[in-house]
């Protein structure tokens, strides 16, 4: 028990964790840290980490990397599977790229720049996401979050969401960004305050959010995003089934007419529509969820860490889609745990620290340094 506590402390830092607590009661990041700690407790000779950092915040991830390096220095071998370019360069000595189940190349880390890796992974040469031009969205206010309470005794949060804007939400795990995304997405109720629509009326309940044109993409794809027993086709249509149904019968031709262009735009790869959604890769599952969400024709699109655990080519497709939606006047709110993603996509980034709004950075003030400093409640 003492060794387990020591390993958890390595990963979680100053966070006090009750070792008798149920894992199911922990937040996503802490659950993931507990799983990694369990593996380290076995003192393995080979440690395989498969997208192990997807649910970790920056500070926990950095502590994990430090813990791994210490063990590598004493003989541990690590097979690290990730789609995050910065993590590859931070931890790896060499990189092997797989595509369609086959090895494409093995490179020393000095040659594994993001553009080269993306070319190898996708089979096509494609530009890596680059920062947006400086600019500020000045569209219509679509949502107003007023006096939102995220925790007892925390200062209330006030924030506007405008049309044509990509608003980023950033924060270390458990500091409020994830919760705020759920609140403005209509799936959680704040301790205090309210979310108001374009006309100033308070939006109450998930159905009311949908009625106000708000669509939400959840963070945990497996538990909250897909309907695992159902087919690919049913996973697409389930949210808008009433639109396709008349006299109790589903108009399959109408479903197909809406589904086909969305699947084509997102590049969904599948064998047959009748196959289970679980037959798809994680990236293609996420694309089906996004297609289902867009079929709702939202005016406000709230995405909670939408690129977590998907490959770089899928990320590029999602980024392009979000930029298109904003250009068409849709309000896009994205909670992300990836710094480069926020820097490249967002007009503004709201930073949460200790369950309150620490700062809001516009394009002119948004840099890697200011963003990371804000995550830790510091001035750059």
CA 233 to each of CA 8, 121, 288, 295, 331: distance values in angstroms, whole numbers, following the listed order: 42, 27, 9, 13, 27
User: Two tokens at 138?
Assistant: 């000045």
- pLDDT for 134 equals 44
Q: Do 192 and 147 meet the contact criterion of CB atoms below 8 Å apart?
A: yes
Calculate the alpha carbon distances from 161 to 145, 224, 244, 326, 347 in Å.
8, 24, 31, 12, 11
| Percent of the chain with pLDDT strictly greater than 70 | 94
Contact 334, 345 (CB under 8 A): yes
| One pLDDT digit (tens) per residue for the chain, 380 residues | 678 788 878 888 876 777 777 877 888 888 888 888 889 989 999 999 988 887 788 888 888 999 999 999 999 999 998 877 788 888 899 999 887 678 888 989 888 887 787 777 766 544 445 445 545 566 899 999 999 999 999 999 999 999 999 999 999 888 999 999 999 999 999 999 999 999 899 999 889 999 999 999 998 888 888 998 899 999 998 888 777 777 777 778 888 889 999 999 999 999 899 999 999 988 899 999 999 999 999 999 999 999 887 877 788 889 989 999 999 999 999 999 888 889 989 999 999 999 999 999 998 889 888 998 898 888 87
CB atoms within 10 A of CB 259: 21
Which ranges of 23-80 does DSSP label H, i.e. alpha helix? Answer: 28-41, 58-72
According to DSSP, the residues that pair with 47 across neighbouring strands are 78
Are 371 and 336 spatial neighbours (Cβ–Cβ below 8 Å)? no
The CATH class, in words, for 141-375 is alpha beta
The CA–CA distances, whole Å, from 309 to 23, 50, 70, 221 equal 21, 9, 26, 10
The per-residue pLDDT for 332 is 96
**pLDDT value of residue 122:** 64
Burial per residue of 181-196, b for 16 or more beta-carbon CB atoms within 10 angstroms, e otherwise: bbbbbbeeebeebbbb
Pairing of strands 46-50, 245-246: unpaired
Closest by alpha carbon to 190, among 142, 141, 145? 145
Dihedral angle at the C-alpha atoms of 4, 7, 8, 12, nearest 10 degrees? 170
Containing 121, the helix (H) or strand (E) segment is helix 114-122
- Taking each helix axis as running N to C, give the angle between helix 114-122 and helix 312-327, from 0 to 180 degrees, rounded to the nearest 10: 100
As annotated, the residues of the chain forming the CATH 3.40.50.300 domain(s) are: 2-122, 141-375
Q: What is the pLDDT of residue 85?
A: 76
Question: Whole-prediction pTM value?
Answer: 0.75
Report pLDDT digits (tens) over 271-311.
899 999 999 988 899 999 999 999 999 999 999 999 887 87
What is the SS3 assignment for 162?
strand
Question: What number does CATH give the domain 2-122?
Answer: 3.40.50.300
C-alpha span between 357 and 160 (Å, rounded):
12
DSSP string, 328-366: TT-EEEEE-S-HHHHHHH-SEEEEEETTEEEEEEEGGG-
Contact present, 326 and 139 (Cβ < 8 Å): no
């Amino acid at each position: 028990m003492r060794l387990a506590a020591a390993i958890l402390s390595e990963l979680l830092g100053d966070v006090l964790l009750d070792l008798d607590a149920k894992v199911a009661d922990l937040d996503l990041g802490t659950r993931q840290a507990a799983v990694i700690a369990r593996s380290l407790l076995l003192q393995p000779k080979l440690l395989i980490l498969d997208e192990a950092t997807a649910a970790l915040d920056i500070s926990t991830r950095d502590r994990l990397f430090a813990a791994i390096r210490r063990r590598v220095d004493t003989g541990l071998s690590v097979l690290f599977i990730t789609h995050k370019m910065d993590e590859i360069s931070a931890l790896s000595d060499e990189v092997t790229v797989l595509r369609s189940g086959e090895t494409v190349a093995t490179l020393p880390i000095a040659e594994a720049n993001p553009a080269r890796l993306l070319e190898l992974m996708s089979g096509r040469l494609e530009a890596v996401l680059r920062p947006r031009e400086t600019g500020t969205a000045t569209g219509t206010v679509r949502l107003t979050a007023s006096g939102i309470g995220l925790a007892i005794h925390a200062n209330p949060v006030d924030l506007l969401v405008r049309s044509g804007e990509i608003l980023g939400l950033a924060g270390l795990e458990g500091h409020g960004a994830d919760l705020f995304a759920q609140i403005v997405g209509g799936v959680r109720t704040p301790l205090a305050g309210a979310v108001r629509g374009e006309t100033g009326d308070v939006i109450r309940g998930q159905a009311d959010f949908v009625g106000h044109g708000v669509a939400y993409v959840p963070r945990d794809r497996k538990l909250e995003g897909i309907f695992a027993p159902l087919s690919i086709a049913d996973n697409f249509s389930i949210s808008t089934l009433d639109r396709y149904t008349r006299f109790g019968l589903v108009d399959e031709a109408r479903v197909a007419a809406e589904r086909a262009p969305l699947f084509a735009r997102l590049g969904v790869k599948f064998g047959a529509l009748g196959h289970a959604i679980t037959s798809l890769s994680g990236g293609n599952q996420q694309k089906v969820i996004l297609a289902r969400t867009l079929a709702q024709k939202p005016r406000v699109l709230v995405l909670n860490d939408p690129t977590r655990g998907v490959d770089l080519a899928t990320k590029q497709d999602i980024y392009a889609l979000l930029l298109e939606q904003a250009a068409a006047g849709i309000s896009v709110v994205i909670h992300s745990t990836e710094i480069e993603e926020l820097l490249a996509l967002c007009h503004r980034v709201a930073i949460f620290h200790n369950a309150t709004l620490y700062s809001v950075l516009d394009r002119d003030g948004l840099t890697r340094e200011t963003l990371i400093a804000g995550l830790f409640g510091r001035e750059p």
